[in-house]
């Protein structure tokens, strides 16, 4: 990467970050057993003898994951290997019934890829609160290498909750054997912000191509971060790994905390010790969980119960033919085809469902800018306020389109349009009907507005005088009075025009 932006330094150090993301693959059954993959069920009900590692059972690869792994490979510009091999990673733990995890090791299905992120331009110097929006420089693009993506099984869950388990530990094996793809990046990231941009991009891609819901709260998208510091130009420093970061906020906070910790160690003339770290979100600090020298020897070897996975060129081409449009391509198309700004196009394509809502609404009512505005302003606000997904609203392309059209054509003011929107988003329905039921239709009759305007002026002689003496601000007050009298149903533009002409006339 020759045109890499200038190295961002923090306390004089360059941070070098690589991420390992574990994402659940969206399959009906587990990676090596026919047990269903479902969340929130009674503990241990989604288990097959294979998941319990009963004597005599054997794993059988769920062929559905092959297609998903190919999709990830294609979407991350990676090599999809003709041959990949499942190995055993041996260690004892109660949530690992076999005493080993089946995982690809030396020969993963996907390797050598990259994806592009947009990096906020470093402000340099100390990290401070960002200034007002709009003054931001255009972000720079950066390619982040993807070392590999390998298939493996998830472990079960150990429950140490004393209310449930007393002094013991309970084990729930519903998750045991669920298909995971571990996506390992190169150490190409240089800040917590870059790491976050990478994760958001990766998650958007995974959702776009339908391989994972990547719901962080459900543990479907988990991240380990490898971090080291060095003086610019130096060799790579000793790295530490922070395990199990399950929200974007934690990832950023944990990386920053670890950078700070390592910088302090180095500033004091110390050495960073290779270790696995834990992040405590309450104290915002990282601490050593396990030193590398105490690391387990996993005694990897090829699983003799499984045969190598063979993927043909034809398999890859079949998936390529039906691979959905990726976020970057969609963003570029939205920019080009619909004349949206880069920022609008980026916002609308960050989430596939949002982008789909946008395009489907356009098919009903072809006004890209109006619809983009409504989606970015009102739809996003609504789901943020309610903390829900778009799918959980009652919005449809048809009802959203007719609402936007009602506003665009002046039948609804923007203010009343929002009221109708909230009703639509909450419980659906026909905007025109909601408008009629709540008698929100805009007053189109300018004669009526004129009458109200005259009355308002007659009742507010002081304001009229002030206006004539050059106090333009009273116009807003007078407009407010007219709007109030017309119950918000008059268009502000009409009100303003009529008031001005009345003030001049009288």
Q: Per residue in 206-217, is it b (16+ CB within 10 Å) or e — as a string?
A: bbbbebbbbebe
H-helix segments, 431-491: 431-437, 446-459, 461-468, 474-485
The smaller minimum CB distance to another protein, of residues 276 and 370, is found at 276
The smaller minimum CB distance to another protein, of residues 58 and 163, is found at 58
C-alpha–C-alpha distance, residues 339 and 130, integer Å? 29
C-alpha–C-alpha distance, residues 104 and 303, integer Å? 10
Shortest Å distance, C-beta 61 to another protein: 7
Nearest to 85 by CA among 60, 105, 66: 105
The smaller minimum CB distance to another protein, of residues 94 and 339, is found at 94
The smaller minimum CB distance to another protein, of residues 5 and 99, is found at 99
Shortest Å distance, C-beta 302 to another protein: 9
Shortest Å distance, C-beta 237 to another protein: 24
Q: Give yes or no for a contact between 75 and 205, defined as CB atoms under 8 angstroms apart.
A: yes
The smaller minimum CB distance to another protein, of residues 56 and 269, is found at 56
Residues 6+ apart with CB under 8 A from 294: none
Q: Which long-range contacts (CB under 8 A, 24 or more apart) does 433-436 make?
A: 435/406, 435/411
Shortest Å distance, C-beta 109 to another protein: 16
Shortest Å distance, C-beta 241 to another protein: 18
Q: Give yes or no for a contact between 256 and 284, defined as CB atoms under 8 angstroms apart.
A: no
Q: Give yes or no for a contact between 449 and 498, defined as CB atoms under 8 angstroms apart.
A: yes
The smaller minimum CB distance to another protein, of residues 100 and 221, is found at 100
Shortest Å distance, C-beta 95 to another protein: 9
The smaller minimum CB distance to another protein, of residues 55 and 461, is found at 55
Shortest Å distance, C-beta 58 to another protein: 5
H-helix segments, 365-430: 368-374, 380-386, 397-408, 414-427
Q: What is the 3-state secondary structure (H, E, C) of 45-112?
A: CCCCHHHHCCCCCCCCCCCHHHHHHHHHHHHCCCEECCEECEEEEECCCCCCCCCEEEEECCCCCEEE
Shortest Å distance, C-beta 179 to another protein: 16
The smaller minimum CB distance to another protein, of residues 55 and 447, is found at 55
The smaller minimum CB distance to another protein, of residues 157 and 333, is found at 157
Shortest Å distance, C-beta 85 to another protein: 13
Radius of gyration, alpha carbons of the chain:
29
The smaller minimum CB distance to another protein, of residues 98 and 222, is found at 98
Residues that bind another protein (CB under 8 A): 49, 52-61, 88, 90, 92, 94, 97-100, 169, 171, 297, 299-301, 303-307
The smaller minimum CB distance to another protein, of residues 91 and 386, is found at 91
Angle at 329 between CA 325 and CA 335, to 5 degrees: 125
- For residue 311, what are the CA distances in angstroms to 17, 82, 345, 404? 32, 5, 36, 48
Structure tokens at 380: 């996003």
Shortest Å distance, C-beta 112 to another protein: 25
Shortest Å distance, C-beta 49 to another protein: 6
C-alpha–C-alpha distance, residues 488 and 443, integer Å? 9
Shortest Å distance, C-beta 291 to another protein: 16
The smaller minimum CB distance to another protein, of residues 57 and 466, is found at 57
Nearest to 300 by CA among 85, 499, 137, 458: 85
C-alpha–C-alpha distance, residues 263 and 14, integer Å? 10
């Amino acid at each position: 990467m020759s045109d890499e932006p200038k190295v961002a330094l923090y306390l004089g150090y360059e941070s070098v970050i690589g991420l390992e993301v574990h994402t659940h693959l969206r399959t009906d059954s587990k990676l090596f057993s026919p047990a269903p993959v479902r969340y929130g069920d009674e503990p241990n009900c989604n288990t097959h003898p294979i998941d319990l590692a009963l004597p005599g059972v054997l794993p059988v690869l769920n062929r559905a994951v092959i297609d998903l792994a190919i999709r990830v490979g294609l979407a991350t510009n990676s090599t999809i290997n003709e041959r990949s091999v499942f190995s055993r990673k041996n260690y004892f733990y109660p949530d690992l019934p076999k005493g080993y995890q089946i995982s690809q090791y030396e020969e993963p299905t996907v390797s050598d890829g990259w994806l592009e992120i947009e990096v906020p331009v470093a402000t340099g110097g100390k990290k401070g609160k960002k200034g007002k929006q709009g003054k931001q420089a255009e972000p720079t693009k950066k390619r982040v290498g993807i070392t590999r993506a390998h298939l493996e099984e998830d472990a079960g869950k150990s429950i140490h909750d004393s209310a449930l388990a007393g002094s013991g530990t309970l084990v729930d094996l519903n998750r045991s054997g669920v298909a995971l793809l571990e996506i390992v990046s190169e150490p190409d990231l240089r800040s917590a912000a870059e790491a976050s941009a990478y994760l958001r991009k990766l998650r958007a891609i995974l959702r776009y191509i339908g391989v994972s819901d990547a719901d962080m709260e459900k543990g479907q998208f988990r991240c380990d971060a490898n971090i080291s510091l060095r003086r610019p130009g130096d060799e790579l420093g000793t790295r530490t790994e922070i395990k199990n970061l399950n929200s974007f906020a934690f990832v950023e906070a944990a990386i920053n905390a670890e950078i700070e910790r390592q910088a302090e160690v180095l500033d004091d003339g110390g050495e960073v010790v290779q270790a696995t770290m834990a992040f405590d979100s309450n104290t915002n600090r990282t601490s050593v969980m396990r030193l590398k020298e105490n690391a387990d020897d996993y005694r990897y070897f090829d699983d003799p119960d499984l045969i190598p996975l063979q993927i043909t060129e034809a398999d890859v081409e079949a998936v390529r033919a039906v691979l959905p449009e990726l976020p970057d391509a969609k963003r570029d198309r939205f920019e080009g085809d619909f004349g949206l700004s880069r920022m609008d196009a980026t916002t609308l394509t960050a989430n596939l469902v949002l982008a789909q809502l946008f395009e489907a609404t356009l098919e009903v009512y072809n006004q890209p800018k109006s619809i983009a505005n409504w989606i970015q302003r009102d739809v996003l606000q609504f789901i943020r306020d309610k903390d829900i997904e778009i799918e959980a609203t009652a919005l449809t392309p048809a009802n959203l389109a007719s609402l936007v059209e009602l506003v665009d054509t002046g039948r609804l003011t923007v203010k009343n349009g929002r009221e109708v929107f909230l009703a639509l988003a909450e419980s659906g329905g026909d905007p025109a009907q909601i408008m009629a039921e709540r008698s929100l239709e805009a007053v189109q009759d300018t004669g009526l507005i004129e009458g109200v305007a005259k009355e308002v002026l007659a009742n507010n002689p002081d304001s009229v005088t002030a206006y004539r003496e050059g106090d333009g601000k009273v116009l807003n007050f007078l407009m407010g009075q007219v709007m109030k009298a017309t119950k918000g149903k008059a268009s502000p533009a009409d009100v303003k025009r009529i008031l001005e002409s009345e003030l001049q006339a009288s």
